[in-house]
Structure 1
Amino acid sequence: MPESTFKILEILERSGGPISGETISNELGITRSAVWKQINELRMMGYDISSSQKEGYKLTHTSNKLLPYEIHKKLHTQVIGKKIRYIDSTPSTIGIGKQLCSEGNVEKIHGTVVIAEEQTGGVGRMGRAWVSPRGGIWVTIILKPHIPIDHIFMITMAGSIAVARAIRKEFDLGALIKWPNDIFIGNKKVAGLLLELDAEADTVHYCLLSIGIDVNVQISNFSPAIQKDITSIQAEVGHEVERASLLARILKEFESRFLLIESGEYNAILQEWKSISCTLENQVQIRTLKNTFEGEAVDIDEYGALIIKKPNGKLERVIAGDCYHQ
Structure 2
Amino acid sequence: MRGTKYKILALLKQSKAIVSGESLAKELKVSRTAIWKSIRDLEKLGYQIEHLANGYRFLSSNVLEAEEIAFDALLAENIFIEKQIDSTMNAAKVAGMNHQATPALFLTETQTGGRGRYGRSFFSPGGQIYMTLLLEPNRTFEELPQYTLLTAVAVASAIDEVTGKTCSIKWVNDIFLNGKKVCGILSEAMSDFETGQISHVTIGIGLNFAIPNEQFPEELQTIASSLFPKGAPTITRNELIQKIWRNFFELLDGLPDTTYLDYYRNKSFVIGKIVSFTQRGITYSGKALRISDAGELIVQTTAGEMTLSSGEISLSAIDGKQLK
Q: Distance in 2 between matches of 1:316 and 1:50?
A: 59
Work out whether residues 168 and 175 of structure 1, in 8 Å CA contact, stay in contact via their aligned partners in 2.
yes
Unpaired runs of at least 5, structure 1: none
C-alpha RMSD of matched pairs (Å): 2.7
Aligned residue number for residue 317 of structure 1: 307
Could you list the runs of 4 or more consecutive aligned residues of structure 1 that deviate by over 6 angstroms after TM superposition?
A: 1-4
Identify which of 84, 90, 97 aligns with 2:85.
Answer: 90
Q: 1:50 to 1:160 in 2, by over 3 A?
A: closer
Q: Distance in 2 between matches of 1:146 and 1:31?
A: 51
Q: Deviations over 1:5-35 (max 9, x none)?
A: 544323213333443456446656x645876
Describe the SS at the equivalent of 2:185.
Answer: strand
Q: Deviations over 1:122-146 (max 9, x none)?
A: 1010010111111321111111125
State yes or no: 1:15 paired with 2:15: yes
Q: 1:81 to 1:124 in 2, by over 3 A?
A: farther
Greater displacement, 169-178 / 13-22: 13-22
Give the CA deviation at 1:44.
3.0
Work out whether residues 47 and 59 of structure 1, in 8 Å CA contact, stay in contact via their aligned partners in 2.
no
Q: 1:152 to 1:41 in 2, by over 3 A?
A: farther
Work out whether residues 87 and 115 of structure 1, in 8 Å CA contact, stay in contact via their aligned partners in 2.
yes
Aligned residue number for residue 182 of structure 1: 174
Amino acid at match of 1:259: D
Work out whether residues 81 and 251 of structure 1, in 8 Å CA contact, stay in contact via their aligned partners in 2.
no
Describe the SS at the equivalent of 2:228.
Answer: helix
Work out whether residues 88 and 130 of structure 2, in 8 Å CA contact, stay in contact via their aligned partners in 1.
yes
Q: 1:203 to 1:37 in 2, by over 3 A?
A: farther
Aligned residue number for residue 204 of structure 1: 198
Q: 1:293 to 1:65 in 2, by over 3 A?
A: same
Identify which of 221, 224, 228 aligns with 2:218.
Answer: 224
Unpaired runs of at least 5, structure 2: 320-324
Q: Distance in 2 between matches of 1:282 and 1:50?
A: 51
Identify which of 134, 144, 159 aligns with 1:152.
Answer: 144
Q: Distance in 1 between matches of 2:92 and 2:156?
A: 24
Q: 1:288 to 1:218 in 2, by over 3 A?
A: farther
State yes or no: 1:298 paired with 2:295: no
Mapping 1:1-326, distance limit 5 Å: 5-20=5-20, 23-24=23-24, 27=27, 31-32=30-31, 38-49=38-49, 55=54, 57-69=55-67, 71-72=68-69, 77-80=71-74, 82=76, 83-103=78-98, 105-106=99-100, 108=101, 110-145=102-137, 148-152=140-144, 154-200=146-192, 202-235=196-229, 238-241=230-233, 242=235, 243-261=237-255, 264-265=256-257, 267-311=258-302, 314-319=304-309, 320-323=312-315, 324-326=317-319
Q: Deviations over 1:16-59 (max 9, x none)?
A: 3443456446656x64587666545423322244679x84x513
Q: Deviations over 1:66-121 (max 9, x none)?
A: 2324x33xx5x422364311111111111111222222x24x2x122111111121
Q: Distance in 1 between matches of 2:92 and 2:214?
A: 30
Greater displacement, 220-229 / 118-127: 220-229
Q: Distance in 1 between matches of 2:37 and 2:96?
A: 35
> How many percent identity over aligned positions?
26
Q: 1:297 to 1:215 in 2, by over 3 A?
A: same
Describe the SS at the equivalent of 2:107.
Answer: strand
Describe the SS at the equivalent of 1:234.
Answer: coil
Q: 1:81 to 1:132 in 2, by over 3 A?
A: farther
Describe the SS at the equivalent of 1:12.
Answer: helix
Give the number of aligned pairs.
Answer: 310
Give the CA deviation at 1:63.
3.1
Q: Distance in 2 between matches of 1:48 and 1:187?
A: 33
Work out whether residues 82 and 108 of structure 2, in 8 Å CA contact, stay in contact via their aligned partners in 1.
yes
- TM-score, normalised to structure 2's length? 0.84
Work out whether residues 286 and 299 of structure 2, in 8 Å CA contact, stay in contact via their aligned partners in 1.
yes
Describe the SS at the equivalent of 1:233.
Answer: coil
Q: Distance in 1 between matches of 2:288 and 2:268?
A: 11
Give the CA deviation at 1:316.
0.7
Q: Distance in 2 between matches of 1:184 and 1:51?
A: 39
Q: 1:226 to 1:165 in 2, by over 3 A?
A: same
Give the CA deviation at 1:192.
0.4
